Structure 1
Amino acid sequence: MKKLPKEIETERLFIRVAKPGDGVAFNEAILESINQLSPWLGWVTPRPTVEDSEQSCLRAHERFLRNEDLMAFFFLRDTGDLVGGSGLHDANWDLRQFEIGYWGRTRFSGSGLITEGVRALTHHALEKLNASRVFLTTDDRNTASWRLAERAGFQLEGILRNERLDLTGRFRDTRVYARVSA
């Protein structure tokens, strides 16, 4: 069985697994960006404390060590600033499939950094982990998310109508995107 990556570098980013001690930086990035993230990401409500964020990092690192899931952070190579996160989630090693998710820190919006990181993780999954499929789902109303998916080379497979409830309890339409091995 292949192993999830501990770290990846791109032109501008150092991408690495979340680990113990990352809670402060993670919490700071989330709280700075909470207004943009809270309509779409349930894990930012209620507002996480530093302790909550540290526990998330600890649990994520344990899952990484078991080769089950990769919660990754994107850091600027030149400054070390945390710009966002992503991951290869719910690893299905039998089918070689991963779900990818992502979020960005507000002050870095529009810089292309999250797209760069998502491309790198997806490339690693397809080329190094021999993934057959990397996919994501997003609320149809979250245009920033699905446009990023398209910029990162994902293809829209379909829109599932009234597929799940949004964070306010209303039905939402869900876009499904994927990149598959050639």
Structure 2
Amino acid sequence: MTAPPVPTELRTPRLWLRAPREQDAGAVHAAVHASLPELQPWMVWAQQPDDLAGTARNLREAAERYAAREELRLLVWNADGSELIGSSGFHALNWSVPKGEIGYWIASAHTGQGHAQEVAGALTEFGLNTLGLRRIEIRCDSANERSARIPRRLGYTLDATLKNNAVAADDPNQLRDTLVFSVVR
């Protein structure tokens, strides 16, 4: 299967998800840096976050990968686009299967409000019904209980617990297990 045409934005009742733009760097940089205490235990990239110029470069590259259908990162905004809520999207896309993996993070100011579940649910439907994916995965550290609740609530199946397959994002001397959830069609 070749990659289908992909819209650059999606809407949920409360959120606007859209492909990244270089000019989003200020909002992304501020949200990441304000959220580092919550992100660093789980995200390798949060250990040494980009400066503003690096964030702009990262978003420019993400936009290029989106246009090429290699990775579909979406920034998550409130409905009117005035406040960044977080980021999500499809990683590890393999159009020949076709499959992808949903990842997500929510800025600390917006956690505990159901945004990650709303986004992951919308992306699951979008992936299955619009992109034609046959398998969608959500992976997380087994110690990240908040993240693991999302695929469970969305009806994903726990396919595996990969024992000692990764190191902790914030401590390379500590081995971690990875939970692999999936939904298939």
Does TM, normalized by the shorter one, top 0.5? yes
Q: CA RMSD in A?
A: 1.2
Which position in structure 2 is the counterpart of 1:175?
179
Q: What whole-Å deviation, never above 9, does each CA across 1:100-127 have from its counterpart, x for those lacking one?
A: 1000111111111121111111110000
TM-score (norm 1): 0.94
Where do 5+ consecutive residues of structure 1 fail to align?
none
- The Cα of 1:79 is off from its aligned counterpart by 5.7
- The Cα of 1:80 is off from its aligned counterpart by 2.2
- The Cα of 1:7 is off from its aligned counterpart by 0.5
Q: What whole-Å deviation, never above 9, does each CA across 1:32-58 have from its counterpart, x for those lacking one?
A: 111000111111121321111111101
Contact 2:101 2:136 in 1 (8 A): yes
Letter in 2 for 1:126: L
User: Match for 1:131 among 130, 133, 139?
Assistant: 133
The number of residues matched between the two structures is: 181
User: Match for 1:142 among 141, 144, 158?
Assistant: 144
Distance 2:163 2:50 in 1: 31
Which position in structure 2 is the counterpart of 1:34?
36
User: Match for 1:62 among 61, 64, 71?
Assistant: 64
Q: Identity of paired residues, percent? A: 30
Q: What whole-Å deviation, never above 9, does each CA across 1:73-120 have from its counterpart, x for those lacking one?
A: 111104621111111112211101001100011111111112111111
Contact 1:116 1:152 in 2 (8 A): no
SS of the residue 1:91 aligns to: strand
Where do 5+ consecutive residues of structure 2 fail to align?
none
Distance 1:65 1:110 in 2: 32
Letter in 2 for 1:174: T
Larger CA deviation: 129-138 vs 161-170: 161-170
Misfit runs of 4+, over 3 Å = none
Distance 1:68 1:147 in 2: 27
